[in-house]
Homo-oligomer: A and B are copies of this chain.
C-alpha cells in the first residue's frame, strides 16, 4: 500500500470541500472556553459512527445512532458539548439529547434525522438546557469555513493541546481531503476519560462503505489506545463524507484504483488522532508505542500489544526510564493468548534486551538515555506467525494520580 497522501499544513476538519464549523461558550464549563461546537456540511453527507461498548452508553450516542439509521446513513451536522456527559440521566437525559438534535436541526432548517449529537463531561447530572438552548440559537452565526479551531476548542475538557490533522491525495482526477479532530483523556468532575473523534472528507463514498472503512481504521487506531484501561460511557467516532471534492466522477469503492491510497490516508488521520490522544493522556510525559510482530493471528497481536501498553508496571517503568523487560515479558504472558515462551525477542528502540527468550547483555546507560526521551518504542517479536499490531499509550506518573485523586477534595 503506497502512501500517496500529503499532510495539509494547518489543515482542519473544514478543509475538505463543503464543511463549516464553529464553537461558542454557553456556560457548561466554568472557565470562559468554548463548550458547544458544531460541524455542518453544505449537503447531506454519507455518515458512519462507532460507539462505546460500555453497557452504560450515554443518551447522545443512542440518539446519534437513531439519526444515522433513520436517514439511511446520512448526516449533515454534528453538535457536541463538553462539560456534561448526559450519561446516567434517565428519561430526561434522553429527552434532552433529542431536544439538542431537533432544535439544532430547526435552527439550520434541515431534517432532524440529519443531525448527530455528542457529549463529554460530568456523569449523572442533567444538562442545563436553558444554557444549551441559548447556545444552539447562537451556533449558526459562528459557523465558518475556517472554524475548525473553534470547534476543536469546544470539545476539549482537560486536554492540554488541540488534536487535529488533514491530508490530501488524488483519487482519479479529484483532489480529495481527509481530516479529523479529537478530544482525549481528560478527567472531569466526577467523571472518567472520554474519547471523541470527528472526521470529515470530501470524497464521494457510500455510507455502507464508509462504515466498514471507519470500523477497520478504528480497530488499528482509536481502539489501540489505552490511557488507563477505563472505557468511557461516551466514546464515539463519527465520519462525514460530503462527496464535494472537485473532479470526482464516481463513488469510491475497493474496486477503485486509488482505493488503497485513500485507505492509507484515512488510516493516517485516525492513527494521528489516536497517538495525539495517547500523548496527551492525563499526567503523561511520554508516548509509548508497542509493536507486536509475527504473532499467530491479528487478535493475538492486538491483545498482547494492548496488554503491554496498558500495564501499570510497564507504564511506571517508562516514567522512571527503567529498562525493565521482565515486566514486558510478564504482560506478554498474561494477555490471554498462547505464546511460544522460547522464541520471544524484545527490543527497546534499537536496543535488544531479549533474544529467543534469553536475556541479552545491553548497555544500561544507553537504555537509560533512550527511555528518557519523549517517545518509547517497544518491539516484541513472537516469531510464531506473521500477524502484527501496534498500540499506543503513555507513562504512569505522579501527575496521573494527582489529577485523578485530588480533583474534588
Contacts and interface: CB of A to CB of B under 8 A. Distances in A.
Given A332-B56, A396-B401, A326 B408 contact: no
A90 interface: yes
A322 B190 contact: yes
B313 A56 contact: no
How many identical subunits does the complex contain? 2
Contacts of A398: 398, 401-402
Contacts of A341: 55-57
A96 to B, nearest CB: 15
Nearest to A191: B326
Interface residues of A, number: 63
A405 to B, nearest CB: 3
Contact of A192 (B193, B232, B330, B368): B330
A401 B404 contact: no
Tell me what chain A mostly uses at the interface: helix, strand, loop, or mixed: loop
B322 A228 contact: no
Contact of A320 (B232, B358, B359, B406): B406
Given A56-B333, A326-B88, A329-B56, A405 B317 contact: yes
Given A55-B332, A332-B55, A338-B55, A322 B405 contact: yes
Contact of A401 (B326, B334, B397): B397
Contacts of A381: none
Interface in A91-150: 122-125
26 contacts: A55-B333, A56-B332, A87-B326, A122-B326, A123-B329, A125-B359, A190-B327, A191-B327, A192-B313, A192-B330, A228-B312, A229-B312, A230-B327, A231-B334, A233-B329, A316-B400, A316-B404, A316-B405, A319-B401, A321-B409, A322-B408, A323-B408, A368-B409, A396-B404, A398-B401, A400-B401
